[in-house]
């Protein structure tokens, strides 16, 4: 299969699965980008995050490409979670659980469909693939998204795409080539752009965010477990999302000419 044909197939499957998801959660148009499995950003993850961070070839021997995709929530999901400064909206908790499951179905369908064309593929779960002590992911979907040029890290350590940061990321490794794409590295966080926004810091209900220090992962995760205990009936909803409700929730907060984004990710 030619690279352009393969890229079209992958994008079509992602969009079709989202359109036919049958979830309570609604989504905007998915975003998708890819990068070569040999991109230097992957090796850099082992230096910056953890020496045991998986490489594409660890997921799939013979890996040649890595696909990253983003499923952005509909505005009403964001609006529901913004109604209360502290309590996490049930709509947001449901969206988290449903979207993690949807990403699993998307990857399963991609793996199955690609196999019909003689292409091998592999994927990691959308979440809960991290060390509960260090809180570091063995395969960071957010970092993969940044390497692929799908978005850039904001002060809140969420990845801001052109469709914002309110949504979920998935990724897939395959042993076939996709068309060359120049990584679209650009700043999307207003704080890093000109220091004009601290809304994510102000919205964090447990003060885990601060402009002058790294994210307090322990404090953040403890809060997520508290929320999960409140929403046991909807699934594993260790989620909050209050930091994702500012001007970068539904789109890039930085307008004007593209500016280079620094790589600030933590891999959580």
- pLDDT at residue 262 greater than cutoff 50: no
Q: What is the pLDDT of residue 256?
A: 55
Residue 171: enclosing H or E segment and its boundaries? strand 167-174
- pLDDT at residue 113 greater than cutoff 90: yes
**pTM for the whole structure:** 0.93
- Token pair of 24, please? 């309570």
Q: What is the pLDDT of residue 144?
A: 95
Q: What is the pLDDT of residue 126?
A: 86
Please state which of the ranges 67-81, 87-101, 111-125, 129-143 shows the lowest mean pLDDT.
Answer: 129-143
Sheet of 167-174: strand order equals 31-36, 65-72, 167-174, 121-122
- pLDDT at residue 267 greater than cutoff 70: no
The confidence band for 135, taking pLDDT boundaries of 50, 70 and 90, is confident
- 20-70 pLDDT per residue, tens: 999 999 999 999 999 999 999 999 998 887 788 899 999 999 999 999 999
Dihedral of the alpha carbons of 193, 150, 161, 122, in degrees to the nearest 10: -140
- 185-196 pLDDT per residue, tens: 789 999 999 999
Q: What is the pLDDT of residue 107?
A: 98
Mean pLDDT (whole number) for 230-257: 90
- pLDDT at residue 136 greater than cutoff 80: no
Evaluate whether 259 touches 187 at the Cβ level (below 8 Å).
yes
- pLDDT at residue 253 greater than cutoff 60: yes
Mean pLDDT (whole number) for 148-173: 96
| Alpha carbon distance 102, 246 (integer Å) | 25
Burial label for 68, CB within 10 Å (0-12, 13-18, 19+), is buried
Burial label for 71, CB within 10 Å (0-12, 13-18, 19+), is buried
The ranges assigned to domains in the chain are 3-244
- pLDDT at residue 258 greater than cutoff 60: no
Mean pLDDT (whole number) for 91-103: 98
Q: What is the pLDDT of residue 130?
A: 76
The confidence band for 127, taking pLDDT boundaries of 50, 70 and 90, is confident
Evaluate whether 48 touches 143 at the Cβ level (below 8 Å).
no
């Amino acid at each position: 299969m030619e690279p352009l044909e393969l890229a079209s197939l992958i994008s079509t499957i992602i969009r079709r699965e989202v359109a036919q998801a049958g979830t309570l959660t609604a989504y905007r148009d998915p975003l998708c980008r890819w990068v070569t499995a040999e991109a230097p950003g992957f090796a850099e993850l082992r230096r910056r995050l953890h020496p045991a961070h998986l490489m594409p070839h660890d997921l799939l021997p013979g890996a040649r490409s890595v696909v990253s995709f983003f499923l952005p929530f509909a505005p009403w999901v964001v609006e529901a979670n913004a109604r209360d400064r502290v309590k996490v909206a049930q709509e947001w908790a449901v969206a988290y659980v449903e979207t993690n499951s949807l990403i699993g179905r998307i990857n399963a369908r991609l793996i199955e469909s690609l196999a019909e064309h003689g292409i091998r593929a592999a994927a990691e779960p959308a979440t809960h693939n991290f060390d509960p002590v260090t809180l570091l992911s063995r395969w960071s979907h957010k970092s993969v998204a940044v390497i692929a040029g799908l978005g850039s890290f904001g002060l809140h350590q969420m990845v801001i795409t052109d469709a914002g940061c309110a949504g979920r990321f998935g990724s897939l490794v395959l042993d076939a080539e996709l068309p060359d794409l120049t990584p679209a590295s650009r700043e999307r966080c207003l704080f890093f752009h000109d220091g004009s926004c601290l809304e994510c810091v102000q919205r964090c209900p447990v003060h885990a965010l601060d402009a002058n220090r790294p994210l307090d992962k322990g404090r953040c995760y403890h809060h997520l477990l508290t929320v999960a205990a409140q929403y046991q009936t909807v699934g594993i909803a260790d989620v909050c999302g209050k930091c994702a409700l500012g001007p970068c929730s539904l789109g890039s907060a930085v307008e004007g000419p593209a500016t280079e984004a620094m790589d600030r990710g933590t891999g959580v």
